[in-house]
Amino acid sequence: MRRFSWFNATSLTLGFAFLYLPMVILVIYSFNASKLVTVWAGFSTKWYAELIRNEAFLDAAWVTLRVAVFSSTLATILGTMAAYVLVRANRFPGRTLFSGMIYAPLVMPEVITGLSLLLLFIGIGLDRGVLTIVLAHTTFSMCYVSVVVSSRLTSFDKSLEEAAQDLGCSPFDAFRLVTLPIIAPAVISGWLLAFTLSLDDLVIASFAAGPSSTTLPIKIFSAVRLGVSPEINALSTIMIAIVTVGVISASLISKRAAVRQEAETRNAERG
C-alpha cells in the first residue's frame, strides 16, 4: 500500500482549498453586519431577514423551482423514451440522424441553442414566459437523461423482458413491470441531473425568459453587475446549505441501502 506522503497531503489540501475556500468566505461574509461585503463589521443575520422580505428574489426563486420541476420531468420522460429506442430498436431509416439530434445539445454552445430557440419562439408567435423556459430547458437537458438511461439499458439483461412476455405480459407491461423498476435508479439520476442543470442555467434562460418570468440565476447575475450585495451572499449560503443537506442525505440513504443489501446477502448465504 502506498504511504500518504507530504506531497499527497499538500496536493489534497491545495485542491480542497481551491474548491471550497471561496464558498467558506462567502458563507462567513453572509453574516457580516456591514453593507460592504469586503469589510467585516460584526456578526449579524439581518441580511437573511432582508432576503426573506425581498419579493423580487422570492418570485425569481419560485419561477426557477417551477421551471426546474416541469422541465426535468418532461426531459426525463422524453429522454427515457429516446434511450429505449436507441438501445432496443432495430436499425431503422434515419437512426444515425436521430441519435445525432439527440446528442447534439451536448456539444452545441449554449449561446447558439438559446438564440435558435429564441428565433423559433418568435417565428411561431409564442410569447416568452415560463412555458418557453420549460421548453428550452427540456430541449438541452433531455440529451443528458438519454445518455444516463442508455448506459443502464445497454447492460440490462433482455432475457428478463422476454421471460415476462413469455408469461403473458405485453411489451408495454413488460417494460412497466420489469424494465422500468430495474432502471429506475438511472431514471432518477437523469431527473436529478436535468433538475440541477435547469436550476443552474443562465445563458439559455436569458434568451427564453420574458419580462415577467425572470429566473433566479438571471436575477443574481443582474444584481451582481451592480455590485455584490450581502443579500446575494445570504442567498448563496442558503443554496449551499440545501445542496449540502441533499448530498449528505443521499449518501446516508445509499450507505444504509448497501448495508441492508449486504446483510440480506449474508443471511441468504447462511440460510
Going by C-alpha positions, the residue among 63, 60, 80 that lies closest to residue 145 is 80
DSSP result, 30-61:
TTBSSSSTTS---B--HHHHHHHT-HHHHHHH
CA pair distance 149, 131, nearest whole angstrom: 26
Does residue 1 surpass a pLDDT of 60? no
Q: How confident is the model over 56-88, as pLDDT tens digits?
A: 888 888 899 899 999 999 999 999 998 888 887
Q: Please, where are the H alpha helices in the chain?
A: 6-29, 46-52, 55-88, 95-107, 110-123, 130-154, 158-166, 171-174, 180-200, 203-208, 216-224, 230-270
Q: How confident is the model over 240-266, as pLDDT tens digits?
A: 888 788 778 877 877 787 777 777 777
Kindly report the CATH number that applies to the domain delimited by 56-231. 1.10.3720.10
pLDDT score recorded for residue 168: 81
Cell numbers representing residue 260 in the block = 441492508
Going by pLDDT thresholds of 50, 70 and 90, the confidence category of residue 269 is low
HSE of 108, CA atoms in CB hemisphere, 13 A: 21
How many residues does the structure list for the chain? 271
The domain segmentation of the chain, as residue ranges, is 56-231
Cell numbers representing residue 72 in the block = 426535468
pLDDT score recorded for residue 88: 78
CB 143 within 8 A of CB 105: yes
Does residue 7 surpass a pLDDT of 60? yes
Asked which of 53-62, 82-91, 120-129 is least confident by mean pLDDT, the reply is: 82-91
DSSP result, 222-265:
HHHTT---HHHHHHHHHHHHHHHHHHHHHHHHHHHHHHHHHHHH
pLDDT score recorded for residue 2: 60
What's the whole-number average pLDDT of the chain? 84
Going by pLDDT thresholds of 50, 70 and 90, the confidence category of residue 4 is low
CA pair distance 143, 25, nearest whole angstrom: 35
In the 8-state DSSP scheme, what is residue 89? S
